[in-house]
Amino acid sequence: MTNIDIGTRLAAIERRLATAQRSSRLAHASLEDTALEVFDESGSLRAVIGQQPDGTSGVVAVNGPPPPQPAKPALAPVLSGVAVTWDGAFLDAQVPPLDFSRIEIHTGSTDGFLITETTLRGTLESPRGGTLIIPAGEPVFVRLMARNSSGTAGDPSPQAGPTGPAAVVAQDVLDGIIDETKLAEDAVGRMHIQVGAVGHTELGVGTGNLVPDPSFEGQLTAQLLLANAAWSTTSGNRSPRAVRGIAAPTTQPLNLTELPVSPGDRFFLAADIRASSDWVGDSARFYMRWLDAAGAVLSYGILKATPTAGGPWTRYSAQVQAPAGAVRAIVALSIYLGTGGTVDYDNVEARTVVAAGMVLAESIGTPELAAGAVTATKVAAKTLTAKEVKALSLTGDEIATNTLVARHIAAGQLNATHLAIGVDGNLVADPSFEGPITVGRVKTDWTVVAPGRDSAKALRVDCTATASANYNLQLGSFPATAGQKVWLSVDVQTSADWNGSKVGMYVRWDDATGALLGYSSVNATPTPGSPWQTISGLAPLAAPPQAAVGLIKLLADASSVGTVTFDNAHCRIVIGSRPTGARAEISPVGLRLYDNEGGERVSLVTGQPNFLTLAGSDGAAVATIDDRGNGAFGDLAVAGAFSVGGVRLDSRLAEAPRGVVAIGRYTGGVQGGAGTYGFMELAFNSDPTRMYRIVFDAHVNPNAGGGEAVVTLRDGGASTPSINSPSLQETVLPLGGGWQRVHLETVRPGRDLGAGLHRLLTTFRVQFGPAGQVLTMFGGAGFPAHMLVEDIGPYVPDTGILNAGGGTATPPKQQYTKTYTASWSGSYANRAGYNSYYNSQCVQGYYSSTNGTQAALIGFPSSLASDLAGASIQSVELYLYYAHWYYNSGGKAVIKAHSHASRPGTFSCDSDSQTIEWGKNVGKWIDITSIFDSTSWRGVALDPNNTSLDYYGRAEGVGEGHPPQLKVTYVK
């Protein structure tokens, strides 16, 4: 080629050579589907870097030298095994080799055993040593052997042992570890049972009611049913369970309990009984089978019932008497001469009847006796015991001061019902005011009323007075210490005419002499006549210094008219490491952590804003999450998807151009005459969702002027391209004399090219030139020919049209992307009628029979319909925020489309659906183009139509913090 400065080119080559000599040998190298092998000085392969023979990639050491010999292990007996300890030392090395992998522990039962795969019992992975417990039932010998990372084993250590497992002593047995399956029959006798250890829950007989599980709720009934296939459980009569028997000639009776009796003993039997609509039989029976000392049946005492088939629960009762010779009785249920259907039993009773006069126990009380009829002179000495005294009939008024001391209380006689303090952490005994403790609390103006809030009873104070007054009632007391904090909670309801200033609950702090020190309270001023509400919280003031006693009280202040009703009172101690400064506090609402200045660093509580501040070693904050969900961190690493505003970051990045995806350069030349000649090839992978710009640039030099150069871009697809491959673009260049630059460029959607590999080829030819014309296409060192493919962004539809410039052409189509915020939403019970209880919330799935399988509809403004009229939908995305799922791990959203312009009274939607896995408290955008494929759709439905709890969840609707949104891209 003429006009090329040889000296200039040589200088350029020298500069490039100097640069190459200074650069790293592997600065621009890579291993493509192969591996790099590392050899030592002797030529032995020591490592393989890159692709391994099994298809995986990594660094694998091979043929390493044997590791050194480990030191002798130390052995110690432990329960069921031997503890093997290696101190990290080697006999023939000071330090472990750098390719150390592990220490193998081998055991054998004979002296001098050989190490094999079957003697391996475990490994120690640390070169510093360690201890591992090896299971063993007899003495064993132990040897250690080291292995390096290439799997080569060294010499085994000296042998240690034999050492066997340690003997088991009482101190080694965990409390509660021995159950009934570990005890031999008759192993436990009376001398082994501690006095008072067996209570009513351990006995197969009731207390008062001789049937131990009369409403069939407990474990005893479950065990009975396991042994009798004809009986099962069903829903009870005002109780969770009842038992059901199959009416058949072969139905076995259900034995409930066995108890000792004496001839002449009388018993009262009663039961709730119900028969199925198809029941056929003689009778349903509840009976006692009388047995003599030899176990022979003497006779039966029977409660015989003839329930109406399909009728309601009915109570039946009878009295029976033990015959002569009876020593035992079996209490049982049966269906007599049944041939079809079932019979249900619930709330069964078997009680002893007082023999004298056939009077039921406790049927004679004070009202049946004349005043003064029974005096001390009529009562024989020591004939009145605890069972003759009516429950709760002796109060403090009947007992002289200081006459009851510890020796007067029988062992085991005081339980939770006798204590004026709670036993479950709540310091208020009888917090829902159901029992005798509350009866003893009430005083003037206070009464027990029914019903309460989700309970049978409540406490009410009558605030009627001639002048405004304060009312309080003590619920209990507890020992206190300075700095102690309490959490208080109580449900309150005020009458419509109540005129007080506040209601609530407080603790009065007294010193050891009873002097007042201060108060800790929670209170509020509810609207008169409003429904039940809960007043609760951490009382702001702690127990003051010298506090010895805390008095728990209810309060209703400054009232003269109306009533205040209280229920479900709670007073719980807040657990804290210290009263002030840096500390942790745990209360019923959650956890709080404080710094040295007493400021909250972590607040994880219910019903209040939560926040989290993490501090470094110097106490300074290093990461925070505030009560609005805003976070500040140092470095952030995300293993899963990272979303911004509900959109995954990779989706946002996909909206931007990705730049050059393929490029090629060429500094040589190709000369051609008549015909077509190939010049440069460039390959790339096409994505149908992207747009591509393809550029070719080179120089041409004809040997004579005249004619034209035709340059063509061709696509060979995944095959080798040729001069006959399909043309993508072509440019024509008139040829003059000397060098000329040729440039070809085209923009193509990936969907037009097709997904996958495309091998592009540029070709050239001359036409209309002088005879014998020759054309050279070339590039040089300073002006290389180049070809590139550039990703210029996501797919954009072709909306251009012909416009002759006359001013009357139809406007061209445009692509629009618009986001619509939902204008209405709601939930539908049983996938039928609108459920106003949830307002605009979007509930889907099944939780209970109350609302059945629910669904939700979400609609968007009328502008959606006008925008989509005559449009072609390109893509549709939906934003939802799920605030709740049944499972903490999340659930499944089932999304469909609908055509409702406004919220309908009944539910309906399209049948096509899309199911998306969704996290709890997660808002995100999802592509629903596949189901929102018609311009007639006006919104979406959440409709799983499935009773699995995986689908039960709630998305936020219109008017909430994260309302639904719809983003539509369309051409119009």
**Residue 60 banded pLDDT, cuts 50, 70, 90:** low
Which range, 99-108, 544-553, 808-817, is most confident? 544-553
Tokens encoding 26:
């592997």
In this prediction, residues 460-483 reach a mean pLDDT of 92
Which range, 18-32, 535-549, 897-911, is most confident? 897-911
d(CA 927, CA 966): 10
Q: Which amino acid is at 8?
A: T
The CATH-assigned architecture of domain 815-971 is: Sandwich (2.60)
pLDDT at 177: 63
**Cα 106–109–114 angle (5° rounding)?**
50
Count of beta carbons in the 10 Å neighbourhood of residue 391: 9
Tokens encoding 782:
């300073």
Bridge partners for 346 per DSSP: 272
The pTM for the full model equals: 0.40
d(CA 348, CA 236): 12
Whether the pLDDT of residue 414 is over 70: the answer is no
d(CA 448, CA 464): 17
Which strand (E) or helix (H) includes residue 436?
Answer: helix 436-441
pLDDT at 401: 44
Tokens encoding 743:
């440039």
pLDDT at 43: 65
Give whole-number Cα distances, 826 to 464, 546, 850, 890, 932, in Å. 46, 58, 17, 21, 20
Residue whose C-alpha is closest to residue 831's, from 944, 932, 956: 944
d(CA 111, CA 240): 66
Pairing of strands 266-275, 342-354: antiparallel
Tokens encoding 11:
């200088």
Residue whose C-alpha is closest to residue 729's, from 681, 761, 757, 703: 761
pLDDT at 342: 94
202, with CB counted inside 10 A (0-12, 13-18, 19+), is: exposed
Report helix, strand or coil for 10.
Answer: helix
Q: Looking at 803-852, which runs of residues are DSSP E strands?
A: 815-821, 824-828, 842-846
pLDDT at 296: 95
Whether the pLDDT of residue 645 is over 70: the answer is no
Region of 216 (left: φ > 0; alpha: ψ -120 to 50; beta: rest) is left
Tokens encoding 266:
């009388």
Report the CATH superfamily, name and number, of domain 200-360: Galactose-binding domain-like (2.60.120.260)
- Every domain of the chain and the residues it spans: 33-62, 74-167, 200-360, 417-573, 575-637, 659-794, 815-971
In this prediction, residues 276-287 reach a mean pLDDT of 94
Give per-residue pLDDT as tens, 685-695: 999 999 999 99
**Is the Cβ–Cβ distance between 110 and 141 less than 8 Å?**
yes
Q: Which string of b and e fits 393-415 if b means at least 16 CB within 10 Å?
A: eeeeeeeeeeeeeeeeeeeeeee
**Is the Cβ–Cβ distance between 468 and 489 less than 8 Å?**
no
- Residue, of 418 and 636, whose pLDDT is higher: 636
Per CATH, 74-167 and 417-573 having the same topology is answered: no
**Is the Cβ–Cβ distance between 320 and 267 less than 8 Å?**
yes
Give per-residue pLDDT as tens, 824-857: 999 999 999 999 999 999 999 999 999 999 999 9
**Is the Cβ–Cβ distance between 62 and 54 less than 8 Å?**
no
- Find where tokens 């399956």 sit: 181
The CATH-assigned architecture of domain 659-794 is: Sandwich (2.60)
For the chain, helix (H) and strand (E) counts, in that order, are: 6, 59
Give per-residue pLDDT as tens, 589-635: 777 777 776 677 677 777 666 767 777 666 667 777 877 778 777 77
Count of beta carbons in the 10 Å neighbourhood of residue 555: 21
**Is the Cβ–Cβ distance between 477 and 549 less than 8 Å?**
yes
pLDDT at 55: 67
Whether the pLDDT of residue 724 is over 60: the answer is yes
Residue whose C-alpha is closest to residue 526's, from 551, 562, 473, 552: 562
- The CATH number given to 74-167 is 2.60.40.10
pLDDT at 411: 54
What length does the chain have? 972
Fold of 417-573: Jelly Rolls (2.60.120)
